[in-house]
Amino acid sequence: MYIIARMLSVLNQLIPKNKHIILFYDSMNPYLQDNTEAIYNYIRHTRKLNKKLFCCVPNSKVREKNIVGIYRGVLIFLRAKYVFYSFGDFRIKPSKGQMVINQWHGAPIKAIGKMMNDNIYQKEKLDNFTFLLATSPLFANVLSKAFDCNKNKIKIIGQARNDYLFSKKDGLAGIDIQKENYSKMILWMPTFRVSKDNRFHDAEIKNKETLLPILKTVNDLKSLNYFLNSVNVLLVIKIHSHAMFNRINLSNIKVITNDDIYPKGIKLYEFVKEFDALITDYSSVFIDFLLLDKPIGFTLDDYESYLENRGFSIEEPIKIMPGHHIFNYEDFSSFIKDVALSVDIYKERRKEVLKLTNSFVDAENCARLLELVGIH
C-alpha cells in the first residue's frame, strides 16, 4: 500500500488540476459526516459555484454520478484542485497546484496520530495535506505533534460543523422528543471505549450491563429515571457511531443514534443545540458546546483507564473541563439537580476555557474556509 501511495504521489505532481473539481472524502462513515459534510452542504446550498462536486465514500452503498468508491475517488483526486476530508486520507502527497484540506473531526482531547500510547501510525506519513485546521493555538500545537507536520501547515479556523450550532432550524423536527413536556433537557454524549469493529480499545468497559460510564446496572438507570421524572428533566443519550450500546428507553431516558437523526434531514449539531446542558467525558464535543454557553458535566470514572490505554493529547485535560466532574451516581444526580434548578456555578470558568479552545465564536467557519483555499 505504501509503495502504491508513493507512486500515486509522484503521478499527482505531474497531472494538471481542474479548478472546477472539488472532492469530498470520508473513509469511515456510510455517508459524508462531520466537518466534511458541513463544508459540502455549505458549498452546495449557500454558494452558487460553477464547480463539479464529488463525494468519495467507500463505505456507502449508494453509487451515483457524484458519489463514488475508492478507485474512482483516487482518479478524481489526481485531477481535483480542491479536496476536503475529516476522516482518513488518500495517503497521496498534494501537488503544488492543489488545496488538500484536513479538517479533522474535533479539537482533540484524546490522543491521536503519533501521540497515541498504542501507536499504529508511527511508521506512516500523516501530513498528506496542504493545510490542517485547528480551533485555537492550543490545538494547533497538539495537531502539529500528532501529525508530525510543520506548524506553517496548520491554520486556525473554527470547525465547519459548528456553524450548525447557530442554525435557526428546529433540531428536533420529526424526532420523537417533545421539548415542551419537560422543564429541562440534558444531552449525554459519551465517547466510545471499545469500537464496534474492535479496532480501538481506548479504555476498559467495566459496566458490561449498560455499556455506559457511571451507571453500572439497569437498576441504576431505573433509579435515575425515577429521579429525572421527579424533577421533570429528560435525559437523551446520543450513542457514538462507533460504540457498542444497549438500547434502553424509559419515561425520562431516551437513547438516540445517528439513524434516528440524519434520515429526518437534521444535522447532528442542529440537534445538539436544542438541549439545556451536556454530559460527556473526553469527547471533543464539549469544546464545541462551549459556544452555546450552557452547563456541562464530565463523567470521569474511567479517567485512569483511559490515560493508560489511549492516553490524552493534553497534559491533565481535567484542568480544561469547566463543569461538574462526575465520578459516581451521586455526582451524576447532583449535576442533573443543578440543571433542573438553573444553578450554573461554572459559567465564568467556561468563558475562560472558551477563549483558550475556540478562536472563533460565530457561524462563519465555512465562509472562512473557502476564503482560505481561494474558492470565491
Phi, psi of 13 (to 5 degrees): -70, -20
Reported as a single tens digit per residue, the pLDDT across 49-69 is 889 999 999 998 878 778 999
Going from the C-alpha of 132 to that of each of 165, 212, 328, 356, 371, the distances in angstroms are 22, 33, 38, 19, 15
Ordered by where they begin, the domains of the chain are 2-164+362-373 (3.40.50.11820), 167-357 (3.40.50.12580)
Instruction: Give the closest residue to 360 by CA, choosing from 159, 164, 140.
Output: 159
- How far apart CA 155 and CA 150 sit, in angstroms, is 11
Phi, psi of 141 (to 5 degrees): -65, -40
Reported as a single tens digit per residue, the pLDDT across 169-179 is 999 999 989 99
Predicted TM-score (pTM) of this structure: 0.93
Over residues 191-195, mean pLDDT: 67
Over residues 110-125, mean pLDDT: 80
pLDDT at 77: 98
pLDDT at 120: 67
- How far apart CA 92 and CA 35 sit, in angstroms, is 21
Reported as a single tens digit per residue, the pLDDT across 319-360 is 999 999 999 999 999 999 999 999 999 999 999 999 999 999
Find the farthest-apart pair of alpha carbons in the chain and give their distance in angstroms, rounded.
67
Reported as a single tens digit per residue, the pLDDT across 290-330 is 999 999 999 999 999 889 888 899 999 999 999 999 999 99
pLDDT of 242 strictly over 80: no
DSSP 124: S
pLDDT of 210 strictly over 80: no
* Alpha-helix runs per DSSP H in 27-163: 34-45, 70-79, 137-147
Cell numbers at 127, concatenated? 501530513
pLDDT at 61: 84
DSSP class per residue in 272-315: HTT-SEEEESS-THHHHHGGGT--EEEE-TTHHHHHHTT-BSSS
Q: Is there a contact between 218 and 212 (Cβ–Cβ < 8 Å)? A: no
> Rg of the chain over CA atoms, in angstroms?
21
